[in-house]
Amino acid sequence: RWARESPKPTRRHILTDSQVCLYAFAKGRSSSRSLNRVLRRTAAVACASACYPSYAYIRTDDNPADAPSRRGWALPYPRTCRA
């Protein structure tokens, strides 16, 4: 939805705690067929919406998206972002 609402080129920062995904997205391809499908879909959405994703690594302990599934509660923001 945010892609449709933003007609001008935008940069989106995406944090991941998976180094496999981080390097596959940075390279744009993978030896895994299932991951390649995800990469192609993501690239198509990015091209169609003038969105330029920026990927960065975040430690699992600092990843706010993992909090509900691992600890049962959500952090409002990561404590620190380490590159």
* Overall pTM surpassing 0.85 (yes/no): no
Q: How far apart are CA 79 and CA 63, in angstroms?
A: 9
pLDDT at 9: 78
pLDDT at 30: 87
pLDDT at 37: 92
Q: How far apart are CA 19 and CA 29, in angstroms?
A: 14
From residue 25, how far is each of 13, 34, 52, 72, 76 by CA, in Å? Answer: 13, 13, 12, 29, 26
Q: What is the pLDDT along the chain (83 residues), one digit of tens a residue?
A: 555 665 677 888 888 888 888 888 888 888 889 889 988 998 888 888 887 888 899 888 787 777 666 655 555 555 555 54
